[in-house]
């Protein structure tokens, strides 16, 4: 089995006893439009292929497929605490997961939305969140940080990283979208760049970095990759829509406290 391509977050590589990675679409067994490392059971891909892909991801992180946890994501601010593995058909309807249990690999699935990983090395608490624009605006990052604090984390000790997602040059939106964000905070106007006619371009990475830092975390960074522009390396819902491709695979971003520490 070839080694999976994996992106690491700046500031995370040196965390003692914590494994993480942002995985793209390469290195798996899925075929056709799902080629090849589709980790999303919510897609119409062959379920056996998805299971094999997830096992590969789990092995790369250092655990088993049964301990690689994903939510049934609903673009919300809901966050759950993971203490034990849950079955494939029993995923919580939520967009954030936090844990302090070694060996549980928690994840965020995405295909243009922003996956975010969190860690407080000192407290031994980690988090993973899926932030589409709805979840981001609803406060999924705030709720993930709050849940980590409830488990013993200190805000100033939390490092966070936003993985590959839709870049500002590809995130075209209409005026009603801009209005929702400016209603939240007038300062959000700087997260938009004027496009043609009434179109604008949204920088969700900058928005999330600002929101994370405002929540009190000690570090927030964003990886530069754009899932739309790099659709050969990452699944992109918007790219598929623009090219009349029905359905899409999911990238997976994972973090885990290593066992035996």
Residue 51 half-sphere exposure toward CB, CA atoms < 13 A? 7
In the prediction, which pLDDT does 13 show? 84
CA–CA distance, 118 with 20 (Å, rounded to integer) = 10
Task: Determine contact, residues 10/234, Cβ cutoff 8 Å.
Answer: no
Residues of the chain with pLDDT under 50: 1, 261
- pLDDT number for residue 89: 86
152: DSSP letter: T
Among 112, 120, 72, 119, CA closest to 96: 72
* Closest by Cα among 206, 73, 195, 223 to 134: 73
What is the token pair recorded at 230?
A: 């790099």
Domain ranges of the chain: 18-167+203-257
| pLDDT for position 88 | 77
Contacts by residues 29-37 (CB-CB < 8 Å, ≥ 24 positions apart): 29/53, 30/249, 33/240, 33/245, 33/247, 33/248, 33/249, 34/247, 34/249, 35/249, 37/4, 37/249, 37/252
Q: What pLDDT, on a 0 to 100 scale, did the predictor assign at position 134?
A: 97
Residue 241 DSSP SS3? helix
Q: Evaluate whether the domain defined by 18-167+203-257 bears CATH number 3.60.140.10.
A: yes
Distance CA 71, CA 143 (A): 15
Collapsing DSSP to helix, strand or coil, 201 comes out as: strand
* pLDDT number for residue 236: 98
Residues 61, 6: Cα–Cα separation, whole Å:
10
- Write the DSSP assignment of 7-59 as a string of letters: E--TTTTT-TTEEEEEE-S-SS---GGGTTT---TTSSS-HHHHHHHHHHHHH
Contact 30, 51 (CB under 8 A): no
Q: Is the dihedral of CA 189, 192, 196, 199 positive or negative?
A: negative
Q: What is the pTM of this model?
A: 0.98
């Amino acid at each position: 089995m070839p080694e999976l391509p994996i992106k690491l977050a700046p500031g995370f590589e040196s965390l003692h006893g914590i494994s993480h990675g942002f995985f793209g679409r390469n290195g798996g067994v899925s075929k056709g439009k799902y080629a090849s490392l589709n980790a999303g059971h919510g897609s119409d891909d062959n379920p056996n292929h998805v299971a094999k892909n997830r096992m590969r991801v789990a092995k790369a992180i250092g655990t088993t497929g049964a301990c690689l946890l994903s939510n049934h994501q609903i673009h919300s601010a809901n966050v759950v605490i993971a203490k034990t593995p849950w079955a494939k058909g029993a995923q919580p309807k939520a967009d954030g997961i936090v844990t302090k249990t070694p060996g549980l690999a928690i994840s965020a699935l995405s295909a243009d939305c922003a996956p975010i990983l969190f860690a407080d090395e000192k407290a031994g608490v980690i988090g993973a969140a899926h932030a589409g624009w709805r979840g981001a605006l609803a406060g999924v990052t705030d709720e993930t940080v709050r849940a980590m604090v409830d488990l013993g984390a200190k805000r100033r000790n939390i490092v966070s990283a936003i993985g590959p997602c839709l870049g500002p040059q590809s995130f075209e939106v209409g005026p009603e979208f801009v209005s929702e964000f400016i209603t939240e905070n007038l300062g959000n106007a700087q997260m938009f760049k004027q496009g043609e006619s009434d179109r604008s371009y949204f920088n969700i990475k900058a928005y999330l970095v600002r929101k994370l830092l405002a929540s009190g975390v000690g570090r927030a960074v964003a990886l530069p990759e754009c899932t739309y522009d790099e659709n050969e390396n990452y699944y992109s819902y918007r790219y598929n829509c623009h090219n009349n491709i029905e359905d899409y695979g999911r990238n997976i971003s994972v973090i885990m406290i290593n066992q035996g520490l």
